Every structure is written in C-alpha cells, then in structure tokens.
Amino acid sequence: MKRRMKNSDFQGKAITPSMKKHFKALGIKTERQYFAWCNARNFNADLNKDKGARDVEYKHFLGEQKALKDNARIHHNADAFLHDVCMGKITPKAVIRPEWQKIATIISKTPDEVTYRIGLSDFLLLMNKKTKCMFEKAGFGNKQFFYVRAFINIYNYCCYWIRDIEDWTPNTYNMHGQFCALISHLFEDYPAPEFMYSAWFRMDDVAENYRDWYLTVVSGKSIRGADFPIPFTKKLTHHFMNAPAFCSVEQAIKWGEIHALGGDEILANAVIASRIGETMINRKFWDSVFQFFIDNPMLDRAHVGPIIDFIYAQKFEVRECVTAPGIVEHIQPPQPNLSMKGRTPNSLLKQVERWHGNLAKSGDAQKYFFKKSGIPEFKQKTGEDKQDAWRIRELLSGAELIKEGRDMQHCVASYARRCSLGHCSIWAMEYVSAKGDVEKYQTIEITKDKYIVQSRGKRNRYPTVSEFNIIKKWAQTVGLTIAPYVAGR
C-alpha cells in the first residue's frame, strides 16, 4: 500500500530539472499541487522519480484529458449523448448537466439487452431529429415529467403502432403539439382526451393500466369496460372524457365525479387543486364533502381548499410527536368519525378559523427546518424612484410558516412536515418599501417538480391580476410551471 505523503515530506527537498519539466507537462506549478495530484490518484508523491514513473503519470494525465474532452463532447452534442447513454458508454454520474443527468438516469433504467438498446437509441435519435421536446418537460396534474420518459414508453409499445413512424412529420413548432400529433399518428383510430396522454409519461404502479385505458379509447371501444378503481356510471364517464388537458388521470376522475354529482367547473378546479385532488381512497366520504359544497353554492370556492385541509387533518392525518430524544410518538387524528351530516357553511368556517388559530399557537411545526429547494428567489424594483420592491422568498422553517399563517390567516403551517420531507416548498410574496416596511400579499406552494400549485392571499383569497402577473414573471425567469387553476379564474 502506498503511503500518503504529507506536506512536511517536501520540505528541504530540491526539485530536479526533470521534475520541473514533469510539473509543467502536468500543468502543475507548485510542490503542494503535485502532492495533492499524486494523493488523489494514488501515486507515490516522490520528488526523485525516475523517467519510467514520470511516464506512467504523464500517460495517466493524457487519459484524464481525453476523458474530459469526451465528456465535454457528450454534454454539447445531444445525439452523441443519447446514443452513448443508450449503449452504456456513459453513466449518469459522469454527466455534468443536472437535467441531462436525470435523463441519463431514466434511460439507464431501461432493459440493458443489446438489441433493445440499439432500437431505443435509433428511436430516440429519430425523435430528437423530428421534435423539439426530447430534453424538455410536460406538466400533468401537480407533476412535471421529461418527454424522454414518454418516448421510452412509446417505444416499448411499438407492437401497438398502427402507422409507420417514418411517415410522421410534425406540422407545428409547439413542443407539446408535436408530441400529441406523434401519439395520434402512432396509436389513434379514434381521438382520445389529451389528459390521457399523461399515461405515457408515468412509470408508477398504475401507469400500465392507464395506458390500457388509452388504447381502449383510441381503438373505438367504450372505456366503461376498462378496469377502473371506482364504478363508472354513464354520467361520470361522460364528464371524465371531457376533463381538461392539464389534468392527471386521477384529477380527471375527480372532475368527472364532481360534475356527475351536480358540481360545476369552479368547484372541480378547486378540488383538483387541493391535497385530495389525486386521491382515490375514501371516495364515499369525500363524495359527501363534494355534495356539501354543491348544496351550498354561495360558499366562496376560495374556501374549498382550506376546508378540505381542515377535514383531512381532523379525520385522516396521523401526526408525529417527539416525546423524548430518539422517540417519536404517532398521534391519531382527533376526529376519525367526522361526517358532514348536520354541518352548515358558517359553523364549518368557524371551525376552520379556530383550527388556523390553533396551528399558529401550536409548537408542532416549530421543530421543522427545511432544506432550500434550489429555486432562485425573486426581486423586482418598483415605485416612482425604483426604491420599493416586490420580492418572493422561500420560507425555511416551521416557525416561519406559523408566522406566515398567522399574518395571512390561513393554514400554511399545516404544510411544515411536507416541506421537511421535500415534497413541496412554501414562498412568501411581499412588497418592501424604501423604508423597509414589509406588506404580505400571497403565499405560494411549489411542488418538488417545480410546479406552482397554489397561491393564496389573506384569508385564502386568490391572487389579483397584477399579483398573478408578478408570479408569472418570476416563473418564466426561473423555469417554473404554473398550474392552470392557480389563478382561480
């Protein structure tokens, strides 16, 4: 085993002309740099090396330089990158660009059989030539997905193609429009709702089932014969098939349920934007909640999300409490038998308001601290002398969420645990005067996929047009996507 050299090992030792020349060849200027270089590569850092040892080090140096050039090539040549990842010539860890590293990870999880990888490489290269979306993302529901994941799934279903891929040419410059046209060309005898395209982006347990639904629809068969998680009536099926394009499949089911019960688009948007927007369990109970909203049409729909948060916390949420060092106690929900019978809008809103107040006083959220999401904050100077400013900053502790909830009179403190787990991040949109006075305007929720899914002002009001424009400008600047229902209009 080679002994790691210390700085003291160099003291008092003369550097020979041949070693100085060796230093120059390696791009090294000092003994200390040479010491670090050798230790990092497990070479003996002796200043009196013979020519053979120096040649070995120089050969290693040339190999490193070639690897750096090759790495730079694959990071600037999309086709070379796709081919080399598919053929296993580079690993995700070797990829420098963060987004491309994620794409490399997605590709690396496909079957490593050589014939499959060759075919996949050819298909991805063809798609990169014909479309503009290979390295981009699409949003469905509260998540964003790389298009490359959808392309892989499409390739895996090549036995279901009804037309030749070579015959397809995009007729639009819009990225998502190109993808939709591709799907239609390859699979559709009959059109399908656009939200069903989300099935091609997913890799979870239900993804294959959802893709089967899509194939059922495009073949002209009734989707009511598919394997659904809930009973599908004719009315529910009709509304499900007419859900908006931005929905996930689960949100489309919620959309269909609410309309089938007699609800409208405003209520459906409010529900799919809530924490249960994609929940398929406890359906009978949640239908009773939706019916409550439908039976009380004068209840401001801005309260739908907060009421659902309150009901969920009371009936279903199991909280964690640290009772001693290293000991976590799970506290069961306070009202597991809660029902909607006999409730009125006024009494329910009073309960929600008291819950908000208790959240602000509770120490439960105080124990949480959050890692930064990595999303840049926002600042825009304004006013006559450009001395005032709008700013959007990230809240990084449970204590900050408690204060935000107290100031804004909403339930953002209940998001402390989700933030600590990295599921979302919470941001405060504020106006700062030249004197340093701060006025709060909106509280914003962003998912880990960089998706803005909520923005609420004091007492849960939706953002005004001017506030929403500032949020849009920030989103465009830092690469965020805004869910269509955030504006509440």
Residues 6+ apart with CB under 8 A from 474: 378, 392, 480
Q: What is the pLDDT of residues 353-377, one digit of tens each?
A: 888 777 666 656 677 788 899 999 9
Mean pLDDT of the chain: 87
At 475, give phi and psi (nearest 5°). Answer: -60, -45
The candidate with the shortest Cα–Cα distance to 81, out of 113, 128, 119, is: 128
Distance CA 394, CA 402 (A): 14
* pTM given for the model: 0.71
Q: Tally Cβ neighbours within 10 Å of residue 472.
A: 16
For 44, phi then psi, to 5°, come to -75, 120
Residue 204 phi/psi, 5° resolution?
A: -85, -175
Task: Please name which of 161, 229, 413 lies closest in space to residue 306, comparing C-alpha atoms.
Answer: 413
Confidence (pLDDT) at 70: 67
Cβ atoms of 103 and 148 within 8 Å: the answer is: yes
> Two tokens at 336?
């597991």
Question: Nearest CA to 426 among 439, 437, 413?
Answer: 413
C-alpha separations of 121 from 38, 159, 165, 177, 476 in Å: 39, 17, 14, 23, 32
Distance CA 267, CA 231 (A): 22
pLDDT, position 331: 79
pLDDT value for 258: 94
CA distance 154 to 161: 9
Half-sphere exposure of 20 (CA within 13 A, CB side): 5
Residues in CB range of 228: below 8 A, 6 or more apart: none
Contacts of 273 (CB under 8 A, 6+ apart): 305, 453, 454, 483, 485, 486
Q: What is the pLDDT of residues 376-396, one digit of tens each?
A: 999 999 877 788 999 999 999
Residue 74's pLDDT is what?
A: 59
Q: How far apart are CA 87 and CA 139, in angstroms?
A: 29
The rounded distance, in Å, linking the Cα atoms of 108 and 124 is 14
Are the beta carbons of 370 and 419 closer than 8 angstroms?
Answer: yes
* pLDDT digits (tens), the chain, 489 positions: 444 444 444 444 568 888 889 999 988 888 888 888 888 888 888 888 889 998 999 999 888 887 777 666 656 788 989 999 999 988 888 787 888 999 999 999 999 999 999 999 999 999 999 999 999 988 887 788 999 999 999 999 999 999 999 999 999 999 999 999 999 999 999 999 999 999 999 988 899 999 999 999 999 988 877 777 677 888 999 999 999 998 999 999 999 999 999 999 989 999 998 889 888 889 899 999 999 999 998 888 888 988 999 999 999 988 766 555 666 677 788 899 999 998 898 889 889 888 877 766 665 667 778 889 999 999 999 877 788 999 999 999 988 988 888 888 887 887 887 888 888 899 999 999 988 899 999 999 998 888 888 898 988 888 999 999 999 999 999 988 888 878 776
pLDDT digit string, tens, across residues 77-105: 889 899 999 999 888 887 878 889 999 99
Q: DSSP string spanning 457-483? A: -GGGPPPPHHHHHHHHHHHHHHT-EE-
Q: Where are the alpha helices (DSSP H) in 88-200?
A: 98-108, 114-130, 147-156, 175-187
> How distant is the alpha carbon of residue 166 from its chain centre?
33
- CA–CA separation, 301 and 266 (whole Å): 7
Nearest by Cα to 417 from 336, 325, 317, 337: 317
Q: What is the pLDDT of residue 47?
A: 85
What are the φ/ψ torsions at residue 443 (nearest 5 degrees)? -115, 130
Residue 359 dihedral angles phi and psi, to the nearest 5°: -60, -40
Instruction: Give pLDDT, residue 356.
Output: 75
**Coil, helix or strand for 257?**
helix
